[in-house]
Copies of this chain bind each other. A is one copy, B any other.
Amino acid sequence: MTADAPPELVQLLTPEGERVEHPDYDIDLTPEEVRSLYRDLVLVRRIDLEAVALQRHGELGIWASLLGQEAAQIGSGRALTDDDMAFPTYREHGVAWCRDVDPVKLLGLFRGVNHGGWDPAEHNFHLYTIVIGSQTLHAVGYAMGIQRDGGDGATIVYFGDGASSQGDVNESFVWASVFNAPIVFFCQNNQWAISEPIEKQSRIPLYRRANGFGFPGVRVDGNDVFACLAVTRQALKNAREGQGPTLIEAFTYRMGAHTTTDDPTRYRVASELEAWKLKDPIERVKAYLFKNELADQEFFDAVDAEAEKLGADLRRRCVEMPDPTPMAMFEHVYSSEHRQLDEERTAYAGYLEGFES
């Protein structure tokens, strides 16, 4: 953006697993930390694959796969401290993992047993939001709350490339900028909004949107977990220190379908996917660990075994998830008495009883 601009894409680990330097961002990770990141990446991919399988078997109504976006999610998710609050879309299973949300709780929404199965305050991880872009405003409001109650954390909000077109998202930029709110906008540009390529949403790289609103934007290799971690950590730190918002564009690729009901062969060419497979977010960490002899086969096998176990466990617990009772429909609509709803509840209970007799 300025004359001596840094390389447009922040990258710290190449697809081949080489560590590279970046003038503005760097990170010092212990072998232990790298192995831990690797483990996260593998486990969330496994959770995701399992969920896809569960949908194929009719156990879920639908699933939104994160395949290919693991690094963006684990990198940014691991940058969060306990005090930070995260607002996801419907695809942030990797971030949920970092926030200690039991994966089975993610399935409830997709199985149709609830609209959101965890307590946001318990995990500092908000519920999934389906209406595109809405959560960006919630996140900014939350960040304004931190400013007002003197809390320690910052806020991060996830959204997609498609979402960048929504009025709400742009209003959230206005608010964040004007109030200098402690927030990080984390846009996973997976280059597709269902069937629409990124060109239908923007003719310039999305990270530059931030400049138009008066705060910094940075594009990071979204398949590079090191870079995602480093850039997010820095942005969160800036936010906490009163330097206001940052927009991070994680440049990545949606390797799977939009959701399990989608058929991407209708709108994109196979070669694109093939090219991106070479940039796989997990393979490069594996290569790095290997090359630098930071992990041995035993480690990789152990992670794979853990993933298998996790998958099996998830499968079992998904299938065991109890259906809600019909009367659950009437709960939590209001926090206290509501005459008409109470009447409806009573009437419907009576109606159902009629069938039993």
Contact = CB atoms under 8 A, between A and B. Distances in A.
A1 B2 CA distance: 7
Interface stretch (A47-55, A141-149, A210-218): A210-218
A176 to B, nearest CB: 10
Chain B CB within 10 Å, residue with most, of A166, A180, A203: A203
Task: Give the dominant DSSP class at A's interface.
Answer: helix
Nearest to A203: B214
A189 interface: no
Please give the count of copies of this chain that the complex contains. Answer: 2
A337 B98 CA distance: 60
Interface in A82-139: none
Nearest to A247: B212
A183 to B, nearest CB: 14
Nearest to A207: B212
Contact of A178 (B2, B200, B208): B200
A131 B295 CA distance: 61
A45 interface: no
A240 interface: no
A1 B5 CA distance: 12
Contacts of A180: 203
Contacts of A342: none
A167 interface: yes
Contacts of A210: 212
25 contacts: A2-B3, A165-B171, A165-B174, A166-B167, A167-B168, A167-B171, A170-B171, A174-B201, A174-B202, A177-B202, A177-B203, A177-B204, A178-B200, A178-B202, A178-B203, A202-B213, A202-B214, A203-B214, A208-B212, A208-B214, A209-B212, A210-B212, A211-B211, A211-B212, A212-B212
Question: Top 3 A-B pairs ranked by shortest CB distance?
Answer: A167-B167, A212-B212, A170-B170
